[in-house]
Amino acid sequence: MAAPAIIACTNCGKKNRVAVVARGVPRCAVCHTPLPWIVDADAQDFADAISADVPVLVDFWAGWCAPCRMISPIVERLGREFAGRLKVVKLDVDAAPEPAARYRAQSIPLLILFRDGEEIDRLVGAVPEPQLRQWLEPHLATAGSTPSS
């Protein structure tokens, strides 16, 4: 089971533990601002990690993949920007080959967007931030807001 991520609140700076698997939207323990939900998943918790109350963007990557290292900071930046509206799950395809094979992650980086645990779209390759944003934003617009848990 992957360890919880430590995420600093974008509002007050308080460090919070954010679970890989949870319901609702993570909020700061001090100021209750929605936190960026950016976590690493492993093969054991992947199925539960993609089932969330907000859309889930999964970044299939590998440490040896230069394009993966190029797009990762963009994905994380968008995860922080869309705090409360998007969950970002990073999955190392070498460490978790079973979920990677199940979702046909043959070319990486691969970004798959899930809603309610079901794949709704995918994007292959390291694309520039404007293109990634253009692909992602329409899916977030239909997501609506989710009350905290």
> Which of 12, 28, 31, 65 is labelled catalytic?
65
**Residue 78, in any domain of the structure:** yes
**Residue 130, in any domain of the structure:** yes
* Angle at alpha carbon of residue 148, lines to 146 and 149, rounded to 5°: 120
- CB within 8 Å of 22: residues ≥ 6 apart: 52, 149
Sign for the pseudo-dihedral over CA of 29, 25, 47, 97? negative
**Residue 134, in any domain of the structure:** yes
**Residue 22, in any domain of the structure:** no
**Residue 149, in any domain of the structure:** no
Asked whether the beta carbons of 15 and 2 are under 8 A apart, the reply is no
> What pLDDT does residue 126 have?
92
Q: pLDDT band for position 62 (50/70/90)?
A: very high
The yes-or-no verdict on residue 144 having pLDDT over 50 is: no
**Residue 119, in any domain of the structure:** yes
State the CATH number of the domain containing residue 119: 3.40.30.10
Average pLDDT estimate for 108-115: 96
The yes-or-no verdict on residue 132 having pLDDT over 70 is: yes
The strand pair at 118-124 and 87-92 is best described as unpaired
> What pLDDT does residue 1 have?
66
> What pLDDT does residue 141 have?
65
Instruction: Give the number of domains in the chain.
Output: 1
> Which of 9, 12, 31, 68 is labelled catalytic?
68
The yes-or-no verdict on residue 145 having pLDDT over 50 is: no
> What pLDDT does residue 23 have?
81
Per-residue pLDDT tens over the stretch 8-58: 998 999 999 998 888 889 999 999 999 999 999 999 999 999 989 999 999
> What pLDDT does residue 149 have?
38
Query: Among this protein's residues, is 68 annotated catalytic?
Result: yes
**Residue 136, in any domain of the structure:** yes
**Residue 20, in any domain of the structure:** no
Q: pLDDT band for position 2 (50/70/90)?
A: confident
Structural domain range at position 55:
36-141
